[in-house]
Amino acid sequence: MWFRETIFPPSGKVAEAAREHQDQLTKPPGSLGQLETLAVKLCAMQGSLRPAMDKVAIRIFAADHGVVEEGVSAFPQAVTAEMVKNFLNGGAAISVIARVNHADFAVVDMGMTTSLALEGLIDCAVARGTHNFCRQPAMSHAQFICALEAGRDVAKEASLDGAHCFIGGEMGIGNTTAAAALACALLNQVPADMVGMGTGVSEDGYQRKLMAVERALVLHADASGQPELLAQCLGGFEIIALAGAYLQSASAGVPVLVDGFICTVAALLACQLNPGLRPWLLFAHQGSELGHEKVLHALSARPLLALELRLGEGSGAGLALPLLKLACELHNGMATFSSAGLSEREDVR
């Protein structure tokens, strides 16, 4: 399958040259901390000593979840389609963030229960929502492949358009439940350590959410250790599409900036499908959703921000985007000691 094909790593040769350039800039070595590391990574990913972050593609994948039948969300399922309208009308947080960052923004219908015909909405619907995974697998193998390929195609179009970075976001009432269940299964974690409050459910709602994940893990225990099968049993169309988009971006040499809990679970799935993806991932933030820290730890990820976010929809990645832009500008625009006529550091012996 295409998603298991070799993903070549970022250029080690370019990374070495970028580190040497950083050490020549008019600052003490390492004094810009993660921004220096970020600049070096972007140089290696883009294969250039002058990294750029001028063209950024933000794609929001939306889908509905059958597990909502279990009362796991504070909001009705209709909110998925309503928020998609809000995205496209420019009223959502990610809409504002994309606009401020001058990003290329679009929304992808991966399978909402409500079919919409709106300008700017890309129709990749696999089905009108997943099945309730407390009772049966969330999707068939064919649907899994369809969702993965939809994400691939969306990311491929962005890379062909010259994107310097790909950001995926998600929308789907019930998708923190799906992400928590999938993360538990992929990492062999107990639900109590992974299931969070999501959109802000009541205590009773949280208990229903916890019980739904527990039931799902028991029902689909035979899929243990098989990432592809676990995704079919427990995932959502938007989560699978994100995984496909990340894999395709890496294959095309496009850096990926990963958003919050749900997007990080999608990245975890994608890395288990193809470990070659991992060097192409940058992590925007650590949110307040319970399981996010554990999934980040499993990926050895060092997020750029910690703002107690739990909104999703790509918002945390959008907020971290200016740091990527500044890392590029500092790398490209600062003077070197020689060009500025400054005396270089003398090591104390």
pLDDT given at position 348? 35
* Among the four given CATH numbers 3.40.50.10210, 3.40.50.620, 3.40.350.10, 3.40.50.2300, the one describing domain 56-322: 3.40.50.10210
Say which residues have a Cβ less than 8 Å from residue 154's Cβ, sequence separation at least 6. 59, 61, 108, 122, 124, 241, 245
Enter the pTM of the model.
0.96
CATH fold of 2-50+331-340 reads 1.10.1610
The tens place of each residue's pLDDT in the chain, 349 residues long, gives 899 999 999 999 999 999 999 999 999 999 999 999 999 999 999 999 999 999 999 999 999 999 999 999 999 999 999 999 999 999 999 999 999 999 999 999 999 999 999 998 999 999 999 999 999 999 999 999 999 999 999 999 999 999 999 999 999 999 999 999 999 999 999 999 999 887 778 899 899 999 999 999 999 999 999 999 999 999 999 999 999 999 999 999 999 999 999 999 999 999 999 999 999 999 999 999 999 999 999 999 999 999 999 999 999 999 999 999 999 999 999 999 888 777 776 653 3
Of the listed 313, 329, 344, 346, which one is catalytic?
313
313 belongs to the catalytic site: yes
CA–CA distance, 263 with 267 (Å, rounded to integer): 6
End-to-end CA separation in angstroms for the chain: 57
pLDDT given at position 23? 94
Domain spans, the chain: 2-50+331-340, 56-322
**Fold match flag (2-50+331-340 vs 56-322):** no
**Segment 10-17 long-range contacts (CB within 8 Å, at least 24 positions apart):** 10/41, 10/44, 10/45, 10/47, 10/279, 10/280, 11/44, 11/47, 12/44, 14/43, 14/44, 14/47, 14/48, 14/49, 15/40, 15/41, 15/43, 15/44, 17/43, 17/49
The helix/strand/coil state of 224 is coil
CA–CA distance, 1 with 333 (Å, rounded to integer): 43
Type of residue found at 299: L
